[in-house]
């Protein structure tokens, strides 16, 4: 979850609007949460030279040159040290990664870059609000328990999931390995951040026994109901259902506990205002220029 003001906190403000009139009687229940695909071991180890050359074939169709051997070798060495995954295994996975031009296209024109006046109507619809009420009603006991334990309001937990994935309906169709590989080596503007996230992905796969060949998420590599980046998954995910796993893709209880824990990790204090109301100085003239378009960061 990049940026100085994290998406979850930006969404928290929106959450207050989305659930201003929630907690009404339930409507049609939301669909069941998606199931996580069982983890598998990566393909059999192949010679290092062949594995390193694999991205070349993958990129040939798009005429995009592969990352330099120096960059790949440095990344592999550093990631092997930080993640605990063997260097050869990392090299094999990178050999299976695919450059996706659509990911570059998507990240250069993100919906989150819209001004608030355009962004707000996308989410504040009767359909989304009614779906949120239904989702809350369906999972009320689980959400209320997390809220009681953490102090993070249930309506905010639900609204975050609603904004991020439409209550678990849309969790992303990109292979996370491809997304982070593409952004780590072909998006210079934020390559340092995405290389770090790619490194975290390998550590996460080892820790949570995730299958990188099938793991799906957003074009930026975010995963699950709350769209956690790999580093946030590792740092803030919780085992909410007590099964010994932190499954943010298939367990709603884990997702609810993790969203709340993310807020706590970033300084949530129960009972304090989410944002401060703006006020003008007494006697100040209205600011209404005809050509002004507000920009929010």
Neighbours of 95 (CB within 10 A): 21
Stated pTM of the model: 0.74
Catalytic residue among 138, 142, 164, 197: 164
- Quick one: pLDDT band at residue 141, thresholds 50, 70, 90? very high
Distances in whole angstroms, Cα of residue 71 to Cα of each of 7, 75, 76, 82, 282: 30, 6, 9, 16, 58
- How many Å apart are CA 121 and CA 116, to the nearest integer? 9
All residues at 6 or more sequence positions from 285 whose CB lies less than 8 Å from its CB, including other chains: none
Higher pLDDT, 171 or 49: 171
- Report the pLDDT value the prediction gives residue 179, as an integer from 0 to 100: 99
Q: Is residue 164 annotated as part of the catalytic site, yes or no?
A: yes
HSE-up (13 A, CA, CB side) for residue 183: 28
- Report the pLDDT value the prediction gives residue 26, as an integer from 0 to 100: 38
pLDDT averaged over every residue in the chain? 82
- Report the pLDDT value the prediction gives residue 296, as an integer from 0 to 100: 54
For residue 34, is pLDDT > 50?
A: no
Considering the domain delimited by 1-27+40-271, tell me its CATH architecture: Orthogonal Bundle (1.10)
Q: Which helix (H) or strand (E) holds 175?
A: strand 174-175
- Report the pLDDT value the prediction gives residue 271, as an integer from 0 to 100: 86
């Amino acid at each position: 979850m990049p940026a100085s003001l994290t998406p979850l906190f930006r969404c928290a403000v929106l959450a207050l609007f989305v659930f201003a009139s929630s907690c009404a009687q339930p409507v049609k229940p939301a669909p069941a949460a998606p199931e996580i695909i069982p983890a598998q071991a990566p393909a059999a180890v192949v010679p290092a030279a062949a594995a390193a050359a694999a991205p070349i074939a993958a990129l040939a169709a798009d005429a995009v040159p592969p990352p330099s051997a120096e960059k790949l070798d440095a990344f592999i060495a550093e990631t092997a040290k930080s993640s605990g995954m063997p260097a050869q295994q990392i090299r094999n996975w990178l050999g299976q990664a695919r450059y996706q031009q659509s990911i570059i296209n998507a990240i250069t024109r993100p919906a989150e870059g819209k001004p608030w006046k355009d962004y707000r109507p996308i989410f504040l619809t009767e359909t989304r609000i009614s779906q949120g009420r239904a989702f809350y009603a369906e999972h009320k006991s689980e959400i209320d328990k997390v809220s009681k334990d953490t102090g993070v309001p249930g309506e905010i937990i639900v609204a975050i999931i609603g904004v991020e994935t439409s209550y678990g309906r849309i969790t992303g169709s990109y292979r996370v390995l491809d997304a982070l590989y593409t952004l780590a080596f072909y998006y210079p503007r934020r390559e340092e951040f995405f290389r770090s996230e790619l490194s975290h992905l390998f550590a996460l796969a080892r820790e949570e026994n995730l299958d990188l060949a099938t793991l799906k998420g957003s074009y930026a590599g975010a995963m699950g109901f709350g769209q956690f980046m790999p580093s946030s998954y590792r740092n803030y995910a919780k085992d909410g259902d007590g099964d010994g796993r932190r499954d943010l893709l298939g367990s709603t209880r884990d997702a609810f506990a993790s969203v709340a824990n993310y807020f706590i990790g970033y300084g949530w204090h129960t009972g304090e205002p989410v944002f401060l109301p703006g006020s003008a100085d007494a006697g100040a003239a209205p600011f209404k220029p005809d050509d002004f378009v507000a920009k929010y960061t």
